[in-house]
Structure 1
Amino acid sequence: MSEEKYKFQECEYLLDKFEDFNKDAPDILAKVLQKRSGINSEEFNELYKLLINMHSNEEKYKGVKAKTKGNILEKIIELITIKTKLFKLFTNVSNNSNEYDIIITPSELATMSYNALPEIIYQPIICECKNYKKPVDVTWIGKFYMLLSISNIKCGIIFSYEGITSGKGAGKDKGQNDSEEWNNAKGLIKKIFLKDGIVIIDISKKELDSIKNGKRLYDIIQSKYADLMFMTNIEKYKIEHISSEKIKEIIEDVNEQVEFYESKKFKK
């Protein structure tokens, strides 16, 4: 058997095994992808640190052009997408009527791993970079929504430094009550999803920091999508560990109710 034929057969065998894992053990495959789809930490850390420094020490970087600053955010996006081997990335895409900063689509590896990765990533996703000093407001969310709508795209990501305006935290508008959140960028995103099913996800320095600490972009996208579906931060309701005490309380409660019912039945 020639070496070429041997390698061809070996490759076929490995591909079959990969497909078997995708079909029969997607959880294991997901863990392997999680481990092997990492980014170059050194490159990412350098760019992320520079991004933080530019915003925290504006005077020092005053002479840096806005386009150069924007390029840093775009390079970070490249690192957390194509470097993971799970996304294809296209930049400065234009047609007769629109121009897109970045479009990401699932790679061949992601397509083969469809059972192991979140369903939300299996579509074209338009990405916009807004490297502003302030949170992205409703005006930009509205413009992004129009771009997604006329392009017939159902998912978009806004990458920014400060995130979006909302009813809480750093993105809270001056003098705003939490109940007014629906009138800001976060609220508009909810309205758009309820009206048209278009998903707009914001990724800021907070999410980039979690990526620096090992989280994957596709996990963040899925988490944000789940939050939007349930209109809440679903992560805070996640149960990580089963409490032995809680289980004991439930069993005791059931036994007490059974005894109470039996005692009433006996008295009759």
Structure 2
Amino acid sequence: MENKSAQVNRIVQCAESLESGNINIYEFVSFLGEKNSSVLCIPDDKIQIITQAITRIEAGNCSKGEKGALLEKITRAIFDNTIFSCVRNCRTSTNEIDLYVQWTEIARLTHLQIAFPYFGDSFLCECKNYGEPVGVTYVGKFCSLLLCSNVSLGVMISWNGVTGRGKWDASKGLIKKFALKENRYIVVLDKNDLKQLSRKETNIFSLIGNKVQALKLDIDYSTYLKSHPAESEFARNGEK
């Protein structure tokens, strides 16, 4: 394993290479996110917290309250770091938010919000420890919370995901319709996503970015709208 001095030298060399190539930091980090680089994976000490929490949940012998606390512990391990900061149980006048997540000062100074614009300036994160997939009623409340909180991204961590067999059915359908109508996105992280993160098979930037992109591509029909040959005729008739 490299000693500290060798690691510092390697970092300096990388920084000099970026400088000579006129690549700014957010272009570089954005590239790492797109390539699902392990550089952006969760640190090992946080991975250990997530893995232990997942193991306890899967053992099936914890109460509902304990499971909720474990899910929040996982969420904090993912989002509370040098890049993001979390405020627990931040209240609005109409509701309660489990976690309000925003960029740290370091992240803002390095313009990481430009590299990952789908996070916005801040976003909301809620942990749901239901024994079943989260239904339409609660997803609808989360949609309302996003609107009154004036954020464009909501992350729902639900061990069993949300309801809906088809793309436009139940909770899954509501999430898509909400995205279409409001240009706001609810991303659901289930147990499979959490396990991928714990195994460093993905990083949170790629995971959320891909889910937001999937929502956009699934509902964005504008690319299929082409000029019809009869449009000019309608335009001339309209001028008469």
Q: Given residue 115 of structure 2, which amino acid in structure 1 is its aligned partner?
A: L
More relative contact order, 1 or 2 (CA 8 Å, 6+ apart): 2
What residue is the counterpart of 1:72 in the other structure? 70
How far apart in 2 are the matches of 1:163 and 1:107?
29
What residue is the counterpart of 2:97 in the other structure? 100
How far apart in 1 are the matches of 2:113 and 2:176?
28
How far apart in 1 are the matches of 2:161 and 2:30?
32
Q: Which sections of structure 1, spanning at least 5 residues, go unmatched?
A: 1-12, 168-177, 233-268
The one-character-per-residue Cα deviations of 1:151-206 (angstroms, maximum 9, x if unpaired) are 22221010011111222xxxxxxxxxx4xx41311111000011111110000111
Aligned pairs for 1:6-17 (under 5 A) are none
Q: 1:118·1:219 contact (CA, 8 Å) conserved in 2?
A: no
Q: CA RMSD in A?
A: 3.1
What residue is the counterpart of 2:54 in the other structure? 51
What residue is the counterpart of 2:208 in the other structure? 221
The Cα of 1:30 is off from its aligned counterpart by: 4.7
Q: Which sections of structure 2, spanning at least 5 residues, go unmatched?
A: 1-14, 220-240
The Cα of 1:146 is off from its aligned counterpart by: 1.0
Q: 1:92 to 1:121 in 2, by over 3 A?
A: same
After TM superposition, the structure 1 stretch with the greater mean CA deviation from structure 2, 106-115 or 121-130, is 106-115
What residue is the counterpart of 2:8 in the other structure? none
What residue is the counterpart of 2:224 in the other structure? none
> TM (normalized to structure 2)?
0.71
How far apart in 1 are the matches of 2:113 and 2:168?
35
1:201 and 2:181 are equivalent in the alignment: no
How far apart in 2 are the matches of 1:28 and 1:44?
21
Number of matched residues?
199
What residue is the counterpart of 2:145 in the other structure? 147
Q: 1:106·1:121 contact (CA, 8 Å) conserved in 2?
A: no
Q: Given residue 231 of structure 1, which amino acid in structure 2 is its aligned partner?
A: D
How far apart in 1 are the matches of 2:31 and 2:157?
25
Task: Give the SS at the match of 2:168.
Answer: helix
After TM superposition, the structure 1 stretch with the greater mean CA deviation from structure 2, 104-113 or 131-140, is 104-113
> TM (normalized to structure 1)?
0.64
1:41 and 2:44 are equivalent in the alignment: yes
What residue is the counterpart of 1:22 in the other structure? 24
